[in-house]
Structures are given as C-alpha cells and as structure tokens.
Amino acid sequence: MAIAAENKLMTGEEYIESLRRRKPLKLYLNGEPVENPVDHPIIRPSINSVALTYDLAHDPEYKELATAKSAITGRIINRFCHLHQGTEDLMNKVRMQRVLGQKSGTCFQRCVGMDAFNAVFTATYETDKKYGTEYHKRFVNYLKKVEDNDWIVDGCMTDVKGDRGKRPADQQDPDMYVRIVERRPDGIIIRGAKAHQTGAINSHEMILMPTVAMREEDKDYAVCCSLPADAEGVVYIYGRQSCDLRKLDESPAGDIDSGNPCYGGQEALVIFDDVFVPDENVYMAGEWEFSGMLVENFSGYHRQSYGGCKVGVGDVMIGAAALIAEYNGCPKASHIKDKIVEMNHLNETLFSCGIACSACGKKTEAGNYLIDTLLANVCKQNVTRHPYEIARLLQDIAGGIMVTLPSARDFLNPETRTYLEKYLASAPGVSVEDKMKLLRLIENLTLGRAAVGYLTESMHGAGSPQAQRIMISRLADVEQKKQLAKDIAQIKK
C-alpha cells in the first residue's frame, strides 16, 4: 500500500477509488470468486456506508464530530484514526456514530479499527514497560501511517474457536485460533482465521488481536500485528445476509425491494494461510500476560460504540414507525403514540449509557483515554435487549403486510399494478410505491438485513451477553456494597 506524502482527509469518492488501487483480493461470494468487489451489487452498498465516514469529515455541520487533532502529529485527522485525548473525545465518538447510524440505517464498519487503535496503544505501552520491547514505538509509527493515509483498518479479534470447551493450545486442530507458526529473523508467519469480520473487504489494512486472555501454554496464540488487506495468503469468504440477492435485482424493482438500496453492512470469514508479517508490524508475539488487557480494553471500547451506532439506527426505526402510522392513517391513535414514546425511551437509554461510560473515562498511563469499563459493559448489555423491543414495536405498528407484501416486480407489471394501486391504498395522498418502499425498509431493519442484522449484531457484536455479565460481575465490587449495608445497619463483623 503506497503511503501519501502528507495526510489528507479523503472524500468518500476518493476512498472508493483507493480500493480500486489495491492488489486483487482472493475473495469468494456465494461460491464464486469476485474479481471486482468495488462494483459488485451485493458488496457496493457496504462500501457506500464506509464512504459516509469520509464524507462526514467534510460536512460543515458535522466536521467537529468527524475530525480531531492528532495526538501524534498535531494535524487534523479523521476521528476514526484518533487516539482519544479526553472524555470529550470519547463522547464525540459516540455522537458521531449516532449520526452515521442515522444517515446509513446500517453498519458503517469503521469502528472496530478505531477501537483497536486505542486498545493496542495501551497494551503495547504496558508490554514495553515490563519487557523493554519496542512494540509501542512500532505501533505509534504504524498509526502515523494510518493517519497520514486516512486508512480504514479492520480490527480482527474473533477467532473461530473450534471446540468452545477447550483453550487455544488444547484444540484438536491447532489452527482454531490465529497463531504464530514460524518465527523468522525479520518477522513471523501466522495461520488461522478470524470470523464475523466487519468491513474486512472494504479495508485498506487490518489489525489482528487475541480473542481471549491467554495462558503461558497459549503463548503462540498471543499475537497482535497489522498487515495490508491485500497481503499474500489472505483469503476472504463473504458472509451471507438474508435477502441479499435482492441487491442483484435490476432497478427500480431491486431498489424498492431491498429496503435500503444505497447502504449496507458487511461481514466475512478471513483466512490467514501462512501469512508473513514483518517485525515492524508486530505488536505482540508471545507476551501472553498482556493478552487479557488487550481483549478487555478493546471489548470495552467496542461496547461503548454500540451506544452510538445502534442508537442512530434506532432513530431511523422510530422515524419509520411514525411514518408508517401516518401512511396507515392512524398517527394520533393513543396506543401508537405510546409505543413510539416507549421506542424513544429505550433508544435514549442506550445513548445515555454510551455517553455515561465516555464521560466517566480516565486517562491511561500510555496517554490516551479509556472508557469506564463497567458502564461500557452495562451499555452493551442493554443493547442485547432494548433493540429487540424497539424492533417488536416497529413490527407491531407496521402490521403483517411488511412480510406478505408482493414483489416490486408485481407493482411494476401493468397487469397487476392496477390491483396493487387499488388494494394497497391507505391514507389520502400516500402513494402505494412510497408505502412499499417504507415497508421494505422496516423489513430490512427488523428482520436481519440492516447493520449486518440489527438484532443479531446487537446480541453478539462486541461479545455475547454472557461476556458482558462476566465483566459486570467482576467490576461491580459487591464486597464494597456489602460493607455499605453493614455500615448503615451498624453490623460490626
């Protein structure tokens, strides 16, 4: 990947053109190799979502949210490349993510890299302090390249895990977690796979991190490194999403039936088939004691993220609920108004958690800011629940037609259009075509196709619900709360 002479904030279109300049990826979708991912109709909407993160930095209304002053060079950079320098930075991150969720109605994919930058920054600092290594210096040099080139970097944490009852070194197949298979004088060879990789195909680079806290016997799995997305030996297998083939339908039928024709999310299984990583891009290579810190910090940052992005999509869902009520002629019905109030209450609760864990953040010894980890886990625990109720209420207001609606091709067919215009009519002044588009959007938002599955990602993204409950149990300090009760009750022992 060529490095720019000076940093320049890319526009969305410049980002798309930068993807064209990569070497061809070894990419498979639906059983077939893909030579040109940029213009593939299933992939392109997800690229458009990422492009929004670039265009927002040029929008006068949102520039303050979408850019920041680099802690490394002092120059203005895209916030997605930024090391958080205060609680205001942390809160602006959440606010920015909400705006992008509002504009795309889906996953814009760049958050995992930003969260990885901040987690790796602190972990490398602590590792160097103990071992006298140069990981932190290497990583700061790498991050400067990221800033200078305005790269999107995919944060790769989730291993395929194989037998979930066994630790990495105990697996029957040792490749179930990414590992170092060879150490060379100038670098390492890695093998394994990372699953559910958000925006992997749309990235310039990727950062690999451990997925669990390692033991000494797992030290070959305690690896953190960066590499180009088009590196030799990297293979991508595109993840299916429900109804994704609607993107292949010719416009305008495809545009109507897809629900969100312009934007989309993306996940992929990424295989590392004996990939060489030079020393300058290695930030952990066996220092297993610091894998837990890296996992917990990344997870905390990413759980904070869900208090922004999911809230933005939630805003779209609330708007869709109010709009379909108008289309159906019942916006003033008391039960409709009450359901929309409840949707707003739940959505703003999620946002409050994202802001709270940011406002209570603290400066790390490395110099960047870490969210309040307990509150970040509470934020994500709520995200595993509230979006399901928001979606349920939206489906309730929309009615059953959202899943029994005829195809847009039937609407465009002169022989059947007359019937649909007559029998799908609702409130005066509402076109049947607009009603169909809105119903397809609601289907998209609530039945799994938005944001790589708005509901499923809310449940499992940034760790499953049990992962947050474990962290809440660890951080809640129940012993201190017991002492509070003893003190008030005047219990001496």
Asked if residue 115 belongs to a domain, the reply is yes
Cβ(313)–Cβ(103) below 8 Å: no
Together in a domain, 28 and 80: yes
Closest Cα to residue 452, out of 235, 198, 276? 198
Contact, 247 vs 256, CB < 8 A? no
| Residues 341 and 330 both lie in one domain | yes
Q: Helix 44-55 to helix 87-104 angle, to the nearest 10 degrees?
A: 140
Active site residue 204: no
Predicted TM-score of the model (pTM): 0.95
Do 318 and 381 belong to one domain?
yes
Identify whether 453 is part of a domain: yes
217 in catalytic set: no
Per residue in 273-319, pLDDT (tens digit) is: 999 999 999 999 999 999 999 999 999 999 999 999 999 999 999 99
Helix then strand then coil, % of the chain, to nearest 5? 55, 15, 30
Length of the chain: 493
357 belongs to the catalytic site: no
Are the CB atoms for 209 and 121 separated by under 8 Å? no
Q: Which of 223, 256, 291 is the last residue of a domain?
A: 291
Cα gap 199→67, rounded to integer Å: 21
Is residue 383 domain-shared with residue 449, that is, in the same domain? yes
Residues 404 and 269 in one domain: no
Q: Verify whether residue 386 is a known catalytic residue.
A: no
The reply to whether 282 and 312 lie within a common domain is: no
Active-site residue (options: 287, 296, 443, 457)? 457
Domain that holds residue 286: 12-291
Clarify whether 309 is annotated catalytic.
Answer: yes
What would the mean pLDDT of 389-407 be, rounded to a whole number? 96
Q: Are residues 355 and 340 in the same domain?
A: yes
The candidate with the shortest Cα–Cα distance to 226, out of 288, 167, 285, 295, is 285
Out of 82, 84, 196, 302, which one is annotated catalytic? 302
Would you state the pLDDT for residue 252? 86
Which one from 156, 224, 225, 309 is the annotated catalytic residue? 309
41-50, 252-261, 484-493, range with the lowest pLDDT: 252-261
306 has catalytic annotation = yes
Q: Is 105 exposed, middle or buried (CB count within 10 Å of its CB: 0-12, 13-18, 19+)?
A: buried
Contacts of 32 (CB under 8 A, 6+ apart): none
> Count of domains in the chain?
2
Which candidate in 67, 198, 211, 384 is catalytic? 198
Q: What is the per-residue pLDDT across 119-130, written as a single tens digit (0 to 9) for each? A: 999 999 999 999
DSSP 159: B
